[in-house]
Structure formats: structure tokens, C-alpha cells
Copies of this chain bind each other. A is one copy, B any other.
């Protein structure tokens, strides 16, 4: 299949690599020295997004933020202006779910299919094609995208219509961020009471407080092992998506807003490149605990 791939960052590079390895003909936008190996592997360098997707059956986006996707889709030399009728746009970026619906409408008006398909699983999941992928789009669009998604991920869920994949991803990041903060508050209290945090974690596992976060990030907090993992800088972006969606939709998400503020402070104190479990450092600094 002819595929335009736009967004060759730390996630996009291995993902594009899997597609090339499977025999697809990739046109790559914005090739830099760090992604030159993809051209050696058989990818073709393109100069603009529109050139990357000229004649493509599928266009895959893996871009940092909402304005990047907007620029690539609707900007000068943008994707929407040059879509082949019946092509599919698979936007795997983690961006605003409300804006996503607007982008999906634009693609539909151009006669093409749309799937929003943000991922979780990080660099490791991208590297060994084991990403979780949450999808939004019509049944026809999902069916068209699935064979390509299966080359990059393992748990692939069709959540609902346009924007549903993006919504699920934001829901995921709200729950992960707020659960990390909850475990951090508990660990902070245990520490201030001079109670062994590891014993508290052990006592709580298996009960209603049990979670992947208590297991994994609780242990990171106890060991002060804050090498990422998933950086606070990146999670702050997701909390911003949550609070922006809340603003667009007229919703109050009070603890998501609180955690966004704590992440702002964490970044301010220089912890942005640490794992998100390091949020406990910001709470501890507030109380000198």
C-alpha cells in the first residue's frame, strides 16, 4: 500500500519502520539525519505533507500537538487539499478530542475516511509493535485502518465514532495522572507519620486501593526511581488536553485541573523530564515533607 507518514519523532520512527518492514511503500515527510535510516530501509523522502500523501492510499499522522495536526491537515500544502478520494487518514497523535471532530469532518468533506487512533505504551511499545491503540471512526474506516494498525500495536479497540479514540486516550491520561497523585498523597501521609511506605503499599495491594499505578508507580515513589518512564512534560500536555476539553464542553474536572497545576509546578522546579511518579516530589516540597 502507498502510505504517507507524517511525524517522525521518537514514536513515529519505529512505527514507520514496522510499516516499511511489512513491505508498504512509505513517503516520509520531514526526513532528518535521525530518521535517515528509514530512507535506507526503502522509505521515500518528501518535501511537504502534500507531497508525502500524493496518491497515497493511507496517510498516517503522529504529531506532537493539536496545532501541528491542524497545520498539516489544513495549512498551505496541507493534506486535505490533496487527498486521493477514498484514501484513509489515520491520525495517531494525542491531541484535543473536540478539535478532532472538526478535522474528521474536513477529511470527510474531501471524500476520504478518518480514524483517530492515539496510542499508549510509549517508546518501548512503539519499538516492539506492542502499542495499545484506541480508535474512533466509522466501521468502514476502522476496518480499512486495522491491517496497518496491527503492524504497530497489540490491543486495538474500536471505541466509537470520530473522536472516540482520542476521548478514550484523554480519559486514560486523566485516570493515570489522578491515580498517581492519589498514591503520592497516601505515600506522603505515610512518610509524615514515619510509617514504612513499602509496608503500606503491601497492605493495600489486593484490596480496593489496588491498581497498576499503586504497584508500578507506588514502588517508584518508595525507591525514588524517577528515570522515565513517561515524562511529566508529556503528561502535562495530556492534562492540558483534559482541561481544554472540559472548557470546550462546559464540564468541571476539578482534580484534573489540580493535577495539571501540580505538573506545572513540577516542571517549574525542574522535574519535567522525570517520570510522572516524581509528582510526589512537588507535593513533598510544598510541605517540606
- The smallest beta-carbon distance between A96 and chain B, in angstroms, is 11
Decide yes or no: A255 and B252 within 8 Å by CB, A204-B172, A246-B189 being known contacts: no
- Asked if A255 and B253 make an inter-chain contact with CB atoms under 8 angstroms apart, the answer reads no
Q: Which of A166-188 contact B (CB under 8 A)?
A: 167-168, 170-172, 174-179, 181-183, 185-188
Question: Is there contact, CB below 8 Å, between A251 and B190?
Answer: no
- Which A residues, 199 to 230, have Cβ-Cβ distances below 8 Å to chain B? 199-200, 202-204, 206-214, 216
CA gap between A18 and B164 in the complex, in Å: 51
In the complex, per-residue mask of A252-277: 1 if CB is within 8 Å of any chain B CB, else 0:
11111011001000000000000000
Contact status B132-A207, CB under 8 Å: yes
Q: A49-108: which have CB < 8 Å to B?
A: 97-98
Whether A208 pairs with B212 at a CB distance below 8 angstroms is: yes
Q: Quick one: given A168-B200, A171-B204, A286-B252, are A179 and B181 in contact (CB under 8 Å)?
A: no
Q: Which residues of A, 124-177, contact B by the 8 Å Cβ criterion?
A: 132, 134, 136, 155, 157-161, 163-164, 167-168, 170-172, 174-177
Main DSSP-derived SS at the A contact region: helix
A192 beta carbon closer than 8 Å to chain B:
yes
Copies of this chain, whole number: 2
List residues of chain B with CB within 8 A of the CB of A177.
182
Q: For the complex, give the distance between the alpha carbons of A207 and B168 in Å.
A: 12
Asked if A34 CB lies within 8 Å of chain B CBs, one says no
Residue of B158, B164, B168 touching A204 (CB-CB under 8 A): B168
Q: Does A41 contact B (CB under 8 A)?
A: no
Chain B residues contacting A192 (CB-CB under 8 Å) are 249-251
Q: Give Cα distance in the complex from A188 to B249, angstroms.
A: 11
| Residues of B contacting A134 in the complex (Cβ-Cβ under 8 angstroms) | 203
A125 nearest CB across to chain B (Å): 10
Contacts of A188 in B (CB 8 A): 251, 253
Given known A185-B174, A189-B242, contact A287–B251 (CB-CB < 8 A): yes
B193 and A97 contact, CB distance less than 8 A: yes
Q: Is the CB of B193 within 8 A of A249?
A: yes
Query: What residues of chain B lie closer than 8 Å to A258, measured between beta carbons?
Result: 254-255, 258
Q: Which 8 A-B pairs have the closest CB atoms?
A: A211-B211, A178-B182, A171-B186, A157-B203, A175-B209, A167-B193, A164-B195, A192-B249
Give chain A's interface residues, CB within 8 Å of chain B: 97-98, 120, 132, 134, 136, 155, 157-161, 163-164, 167-168, 170-172, 174-179, 181-183, 185-190, 192-196, 199-200, 202-204, 206-214, 216, 242, 245-246, 249-256, 258-259, 262, 283, 286-287, 289
**14 A-B residue pairs with CB within 8 Å:** A155-B207, A160-B194, A160-B195, A167-B195, A174-B189, A175-B183, A175-B186, A175-B214, A178-B179, A178-B181, A189-B246, A189-B249, A249-B289, A252-B286
